[in-house]
Amino acid sequence: MEKTHDLEGPATHEGPLPLDTLVAAETLVRRSSAVPDVAEPAADPERIGRYEVRSVLGEGSMCRVYRAHDKAEGRDVAVKVLKVPFASDPRVVERFRGEAAAGRRLGHPALVELLDVGPDYLVQELVEGESLATRLRRRGPICPEAALPILAAVAEALDYVHARAVVHRDVKPSNVLLVRGGAAKLADFGIARLGWAPITRTGEVIGTPAYMAPEQLSHGVAHAPSDLYSLAVVTQETLTGVRPFRRPSLGAFLQSIVADEPPRASAVNPALPAAVDLVLAKALAKDPGKRYPDGRAFVAALQGVFVPGPQTGISQPAR
């Protein structure tokens, strides 16, 4: 079986990645994605601020998320805490505070709500359900009728944050939460950037490589069209069960994102109509200016393929 590199973990890089040096990025991404070998505390805390810890919900390379009870409000919440190895890292702390800054500016039904901020933790609404990534692993591709409300909610959330000069920069299935009852919410603004200034000022490339837009890899630029490209990657994976680009080595994988045309979704999943290929080709265009202008336009084009009759735009799924 051919070995492929999915690059699901986050990566950072000092200095933009020119097209002719992308192959050399293999060592770079592996090094920056590694978790420091530092021992965690023997036991999880019983309390975090005023919140009584009930259980561990999950964890990533930098944070652990707890289910906790807020006695003052009479509800369970999700508390996201920086792990010990990273709590003293200024760059990580800056990103963590950036998530808090972004969250305080935002309020939308398709976004996970930020409830409270502590010195090294964030408190968010507890979303009962599973991530889109878990759903895809568990059951494979999702039929268009079920996928469209999910994609519409994420697109609406992105249009909302983009209108407020916030770029998410890490749109991927694990950051799309499927709420019991049918709604979908976009989570994790840990690497969001406030404002429209290109990130090449610091030469920083941050994100999950498998979902990053070509301009993020080749020029270190992340803006609204980059988020929409990531949504298109998520869309193709949702409808087919696999991401557009899969190559036998990491260098070839990164090079492919920047230079190659994605495979047709209908060739991967023959149940899809050929018309969806044109929509995804536009959404995955290498040139950001050739993509759909916003999430609403992208989802309207998808609806035009899958839903007969006049389109009325996108909206959050019924609760």
Q: How far is CA 183 from the centre of its chain?
A: 17
Concatenating the DSSP letter of every residue in the chain gives: --------S-EEEES---GGGGGGHHHHHHHHHPPP--PPPSS--SEETTEEEEEEEEE-SSEEEEEEEETTTTEEEEEEEE-HHHHT-HHHHHHHHHHHHHHHT---TTBPPEEEE-SSEEEEE---EEEHHHHHHHH-S--HHHHHHHHHHHHHHHHHHHTTTEE-----GGGEEEETTS-EEE---TT-EESS--GGGTTEEEE-GGG--HHHHHH----HHHHHHHHHHHHHHHHHSS-S---SSHHHHHHHHHHSPPPPHHHHSTTS-THHHHHHHHHT-SSGGGS-SSHHHHHHHHHHHHS-S------PPP-
Distance CA 78, CA 53 (A): 9
Which of the residues 70, 159, 170, 227 is marked catalytic?
170
Residue 70 bears catalytic tag: no
Residues serving a catalytic function are: 170
